Chains A and B, each alone.
Chain A
Amino acid sequence: MPVEFRKDLFANERDDTLKEIGQPRIRQDILGHVSGRSPYYDDHLFEGLLHMRCVRSPHHHARIRHIDAGAAERMPGVVRVVWPADVPHNINTLLSLINFGRDDEALLQPSRVTYIGEPVLAIIAKTEREAREAAAAVRVDWEPLPHVLDVEEALKPDAPTVNGEYPNNTFDYHDLYDHQKLRFGDVEKGFREADHIVEGEYRMSPIEQAPIETCGAIAAPETNDRYVCHTATQGLFFSLAVTAKLLDIASSRLHFIGGTVGGGFGGKVDSITEPMAVLGARLTGQPVKFMWDREEEMQVGAPRGAELWRIKDGVARDGRILARQFTGFFDSGAYTRLSSYAVVKGTGHLPGPYTIPNVASNVYCVFTNRTPATAMRGFGITGVDFAIECQMDKVAEAAGLDPIELRILNAYRDGDMKAHRREAKNCALIECCQVAADKARWPLSPQSRAASSMTEGGVGWRAEIPETVTDQVGRIGERRRQALPSEPGAGAAATGRVAAGMRRDDRSVELPPQVADMAKEQERTGYSGKVDLPDHAAPASVQPAPATPVQRPAAPLPTQPPPPPPPPAGTAPSLPPAAQQRADDPEAAEQARRRAASRFISGTRRRR
């Protein structure tokens, strides 16, 4: 499997004379790994280690009438039965750490289970076998309830409610819509101008992260009234913060150790095993291990969630895509976890690495009665890339073009305007197409061979934000009262227009170094392209730290778009009414709602 480095490409933007960077140095931890001596969390086998196992729901959706753990409690080796009431603050949502979404998931579910495998009780015993046997002896009186498993069924007005915090079975975006919108230009106009209309539907079933080391943690009481937790987490402070919140314990009393993990692939962000293990250590005063077995890893541990995408393209005779419309559904399962985030990330990725003048999409985070979904390698992108690239193959066929030539023809280039209203830079799609074609001896036309990411982009319409058609379809709760179309603009006349060129002053930029001494030395970064960064602007010489905070770009969060001009008769305001709604959302109410929010990872993103 030869690997070839094409150092000839983009050579003028790179300094290749660095000493350590670019060298094939062996791993710092390789000796430990190959000799089997690197310590993973499961190697911390404390004296008197107890084992924790969960009692789980056998139903998609059921009310818990009664739990009888009496027999289990008396079984050999059982040290403690852990009830939902033992969890001091038994409600959380992962992204509360960045103030995104509402708390919707209990660590142990007290009243109503919403997926097969949802934990309702835990047993702590001296051996894993004793914990398993006792968990199997717990009797639960279930009252099965109607359930929904299909994302589009879940959107219907009469669908059973999965997640009580989101009674419409969709995550709420911006306190306004039941989906995330993307609108750029006018897709209907693009479709009218097109010679071909190409439509496709693309599905991806749930996928397991499948690490060799399953999720887990071992916690133990430490000296000085603290708890140590050895964990396989992918986010050490993420898991520490979730534990502090659920257990209502000062973060200073938690000592988390990890960093060497037997594969994560996104499945070790959810931070369930850590609070469970620390809770066990706290309730028993002894070391406790909570580790998923392979079945739990595959069927209870959150997978990469299923996705459903529909794409409609309007294509000109020469193969240029004039309009592209998406409808996307992320199956979040019973709780939010991280799917709400993937929807926005996926939306920012549309319409793929192509410059298309008219783009519209609606993407939904849908709750169903299945194992909650979470992150996995390519999160928010893998499913839609599958959809886009299969669609491109269909477009090539419809236009009678070679598939690679079609990509190069439509590829984004430096300076092009992307559908999320930011300029493309540092592009390299065309060059990848050319090099891959060469490697596979796939012939390209002279035009495709001569194309470059660095030329002909950002010119004329390619650089411009077009006048954009907007609508207000799909307000929160609206779909509960009546069936609504899910695709953008369908069945509802456009209700507004955003003027061409309209863009908020909301650039995402890296914040400058805290003090001048931290500023990168530009001549030592190995980058020789054009630079426009705070590090570059900071003085290179040694200077005392400024007494006042360094000047930062205007914070985007509290700002409101300028009030829209009075709308001309017959048209909606160019900016959404949401702006006004958000303005009077009181911060105090926000604080009250999240009384036990993490105290040490400050919120960076406020829901409005």
Chain B
Amino acid sequence: MTLCTGRGFAAINYPIGMNLGGDPSQALVHSTPDGKFKVALSSIDLGQGMKSVTRQIAAETLGVPISDVYVDTADSDTGPHCMGSFASRGTHRVGNAVIRAATEARRAMLEAASEELEVNAADLDTDGQGNIHVKGAPSRSITVEETALAAQFKQGRTLSGRGIFLIQPSEADPDTGEMSPVSCFAHAALIVDLTVDDETGEVDVTEINSAYEVGRALNPKLVEQQLIGGAWMGVSHALYETTEPYYPAREHGPTDFNDYLMPGPGEIVPHNIAILERPAEDAPFGGKGPGEMCANPVIPAISNGVYNAVGVRCHDLPITPEKVLRGIRANGGARPQGQPTGRR
């Protein structure tokens, strides 16, 4: 028995937003009488952090602290329409709708403050701490709370905003496939180190080094959790998971997590991540949405690493020990492809 080491590489890009557009999302923003802002959505937080990222976007756009913003989603009686949380559209589409809604609310807020301060609204700015001041003269200021109270009880003005974001729908050409699929792409490149046991066919991923380009990390901790979890999912897809192990035959389908295999805590791979940020012009603060793409490069990188280790091209997911072993036997034994490039 030999543990053969291998190294595999893959690089990908990923389309952000629903293919061919036509997927609107709306947002409503309004202030309470004391200057706290509510963001009403019908978008879904799947655990990816939809509520948190839209809250940050609203706070940044309004120019108020995040503690003064609360996101309320998803109640169809109060939240305006959203197509849903899928197709890497949440951050891009909903984020843009929130920016528009919060921008309108901010303009109303600065108008109300300008009446109180008796200056032109265009000369006002926010400090992100709950104050509105005259540009270049921070001492001439009013709090957001005072502004909201004045707007509500004195000026008869709402500090509110509406937003909708829609990429207009288009269609693919039947003969050439010409289309405008999406407006921006995230990117990734990734190197997997692994070992293959030439007696059992078992693959053990030992290290991942990656670079993910996400536009802008709107919340670096949320990005980090997505990338770590997504890479785990990539390992799982590559080596373990399927509902039909002998596809297209339907036999031996798993019915619970005893049969449906996934990596456990012992198989979590050390993963060194670099995050690159090339903002997209049409994305909210440039952020592209990192969640959906991050499993994709892991899967082919593992397949390529298996080839590097034992000379078996396993191009049928998942790469089970059975398939690897059959490949090794068909080759008359493991055929390591030489010292993997750049190996330490």
CA distance in complex: A75, B136 (Å): 79
CB-based contact B291/A377 at 8 Å: yes
Known: A207-B241, A385-B296. A390 touches B221 (CB 8 A): no
CB-based contact A19/B128 at 8 Å: yes
The residue that A2 contacts in the complex, of B79, B245, B272, with Cβ under 8 A, is B272
Q: Does B249 contact A (CB under 8 A)?
A: yes
Chain B residues with CB under 8 Å of A509's CB are 167-168
**Nearest residue in B to A202 (C-beta to C-beta)?**
B315
Q: Does A249 contact B (CB under 8 A)?
A: no
CB-based contact A389/B301 at 8 Å: yes
CA distance in complex: A517, B271 (Å): 45
CB-based contact A527/B286 at 8 Å: yes
Q: Does A125 contact B (CB under 8 A)?
A: no
CA distance in complex: A468, B295 (Å): 34
Chain B residues with CB under 8 Å of A440's CB are 7, 191, 193, 209, 342
CA distance in complex: A576, B185 (Å): 30
Q: Does A433 contact B (CB under 8 A)?
A: yes
Nearest CB in chain A: distance from B337 CB, A: 8
CA distance in complex: A535, B293 (Å): 28
CA distance in complex: A601, B304 (Å): 45
**Nearest residue in B to A363 (C-beta to C-beta)?**
B177
Known: A1-B270, A255-B76, A433-B189. A506 touches B180 (CB 8 A): yes
Q: Does B61 contact A (CB under 8 A)?
A: yes
**Cβ contacts A485-514/B at 8 Å (1 or 0 each):** 000000000001010001110111111011
Known: A9-B278, A27-B52. A349 touches B15 (CB 8 A): yes
Segment of A63-71, A186-194, A316-324, A414-422 in the binding face: A414-422
CA distance in complex: A441, B99 (Å): 41
Known: A261-B45, A517-B104. A368 touches B76 (CB 8 A): no
Q: Does A480 contact B (CB under 8 A)?
A: no
Nearest CB in chain A: distance from B225 CB, A: 10
Q: Does B194 contact A (CB under 8 A)?
A: no
CB-based contact A377/B292 at 8 Å: yes
Among the interface residues B15, B278, B293, which one has the most CB atoms of the partner chain A within 10 A? Answer: B278
Nearest CB in chain A: distance from B135 CB, A: 12
CB-based contact B177/A419 at 8 Å: yes
CB-based contact B175/A385 at 8 Å: no
Segment of B30-38, B137-145, B253-261, B325-333 in the binding face: B253-261
Interface of chain A residues 167 through 188 with chain B (CB within 8 A): 173-174, 176-177, 180-184
**Cβ contacts B255-287/A at 8 Å (1 or 0 each):** 111001010000000111111111111100111
The residue that A390 contacts in the complex, of B84, B260, B303, with Cβ under 8 A, is B303
**Nearest residue in A to B129 (C-beta to C-beta)?**
A19
CB-based contact A14/B286 at 8 Å: yes
**Cβ contacts A413-443/B at 8 Å (1 or 0 each):** 0000001111000111101111111011111
Chain A residues with CB under 8 Å of B301's CB are 389
Nearest CB in chain A: distance from B290 CB, A: 12
Enumerate 10 A-B pairs (CB-CB under 8 Å) in ascending A order.
Answer: A3-B227, A7-B277, A28-B55, A151-B248, A183-B175, A240-B76, A368-B248, A439-B272, A511-B166, A518-B100
